[in-house]
Amino acid sequence: MRMSTEISNLKSLDLMARNIKLADRVDSFKKMMSALQLTYKRIVLSAADREVTIKDPFTGDFRNMLMFASNNYLGLANHRHIKKKVLDAIDKFGCGIGGPPLLNGYIGLIEELEERLAAFKSQEAAIVFSSGFLANLGVISALTEHNDTIIYDELSHASFYDGIRLTKAKAIPFGHNNMQQLTRLAEQYGNEARGNVFVCTEGVYSMDGDIAPLDKIARVCKRTDSILIVDDAHGTGVLGGNGSGTAAHFQCEEDIAVTMGTFSKVFATCGGFLTGSAGLMEYLRYHARSYIFSASIPPPVAATVLAGLEVIEDEPWLRTQLLANVKYAIEKLKPFGFYASPEAAIITLRLPENMDIRKAAYLFHLKNIFINPVEYPAVPANKQRFRISIMATHTKEDIDRLAMATGEVWNDRAVYSN
């Protein structure tokens, strides 16, 4: 008994020592964050819109800032019709479900949402996940087997890379939008593979803002009998004749085996989904672990997306205004240099040589421009950039202020290292 008590005390002391060491590291990191004037984790005190109120992390004061860092592309986060539909859903279904879809979390509102999403993406069926991240994890890990081959764009999202870790399939990257390399790999592994070949790409690339040539990729997949999976998180609601996404933009919807989408971009809430054939979606319900073992999205989220689909259909001018704003912003920001040619609602600014991105981001903050600095490891250390998200609710005056602030930051010698 005495020996057991001594061992227990020793373990407790060790744990306390580790906690103290960890607390010191955390405290040191917080001081470093303050000294570097990092602009991450700013507290927003208002609804997501073209202008937001924040609590300044450096002064503690409240200030209004123009928001150019939100994926709320159509301004749906604060749309009157959507807020009313959400309140109606809360009155009928409450705020939560308390279980996974297969057991007790598949309410009529989610069934309706899946039917609407499938029609929106011109597919037979859809399945809703708790997040887009979990949708990517689920589709890759559930569909691929050890004798399959996954060929994927090197700039695929982190969730896709994590999905690859959960499978035993061979995974081979190809250079970003490099059609020649993709074609060569698809032909090679199409002939060699004992299993299926999956080609995985994004519609709109979140860190670059450019789009994949889906029509060309689809033709390669058809010729090599490969299965095409598209992550269309940033294309959904933005591209295509009816806003349904990148595949509609290229008129190749029927060639996509699986499309992944998220509710955290144009719908400005949380959750994700997959669309494809009815048989494939039903298979995923019983094999995608990130679906089976995750709680359902709550009723207010389902209502948000359903109402968002209604707005996209009934108010097409929002998308027209978004694309007009993007075109205007491209012209105003062109002198500063893009990292990639903007083709959707994301514009990435290439840093001038020797610019300190953290000092520049802080200067944008002081000018009341809320903008995202993208640092390593989100991108390679030599490819850091500012990422700008344009919204339909932005005015030309907002974009003019952004361009003016960018010019002032670019010309301020204080943001450059010697």
Q: What is the model's pTM?
A: 0.90
Q: What is the pLDDT of residues 292-313, one digit of tens each?
A: 999 999 999 999 999 999 999 9
Instruction: Assign 3-class secondary structure to 63-121.
Output: EEEEECCCCCCCCHHHCHHHHHHHHHHHHHHCCCCCCCHHHHHCCHHHHHHHHHHHHHC
* Per-chain mean pLDDT for the chain: 92
Residue 346's pLDDT is what? 96
157, 170, 249, 365: the active-site residue: 157
Q: Where in the chain is the domain with CATH 3.40.640.10?
A: 79-314
| Residue 313 parent element (H or E) | helix 299-314
Q: Where in the chain is the domain with CATH 3.90.1150.10?
A: 34-67+317-415
Answer with the residue of higher pLDDT: 45 or 191. 45
- Long-range (24+ apart) CB contacts under 8 A made by 178-181 are 179/213, 179/216, 179/217, 179/220
79, 121, 170, 265: the active-site residue: 265
Q: Is the pLDDT of residue 6 over 70?
A: no
Residue 381's pLDDT is what? 84
Active site residue 231: yes
70, 159, 196, 206: the active-site residue: 206
Active site residue 157: yes
Written out in words, the top-level CATH class of the domain with range 79-314 is: alpha beta
Q: What is the pLDDT of residues 94-117, one digit of tens each?
A: 999 999 999 999 999 999 999 999
Beta strand ranges found along 135-222 (DSSP E) = 149-153, 170-174, 197-202
Domain spanning 34-67+317-415: CATH superfamily: Aspartate Aminotransferase, domain 1 (3.90.1150.10)
114, 208, 231, 253: the active-site residue: 231
Q: What is the pLDDT of residues 123-171, one digit of tens each?
A: 999 999 999 999 999 999 999 999 999 999 999 999 999 999 999 999 9
153, 202, 232, 398: the active-site residue: 202
Q: How many residues appear in the chain?
A: 418
Can you tell me the distance from the alpha carbon of 108 to that of 302, in angstroms, rounded to the nearest whole number? Answer: 10
Q: Is the pLDDT of residue 20 over 90?
A: no
Q: What is the pLDDT of residues 160-185, one digit of tens each?
A: 999 999 999 999 999 999 999 999 99
Can you tell me the distance from the alpha carbon of 347 to that of 209, in angstroms, rounded to the nearest whole number? Answer: 6
Pairing of strands 227-231, 258-262: parallel
Residue 382's pLDDT is what? 87
Residue 194's pLDDT is what? 83
| Residue 227 parent element (H or E) | strand 227-231
Instruction: Give the residues across from 272 on adjacent strands.
Output: 129, 262
Of all residues in the chain, the percent with pLDDT exceeding 70 is 92
pLDDT band (50, 70, 90) for residue 15: low
Residue 393's pLDDT is what? 97
85, 121, 234, 394: the active-site residue: 234
Q: Is the pLDDT of residue 93 over 80?
A: yes
Q: What is the pLDDT of residues 230-255, one digit of tens each?
A: 999 999 999 998 999 999 999 999 99
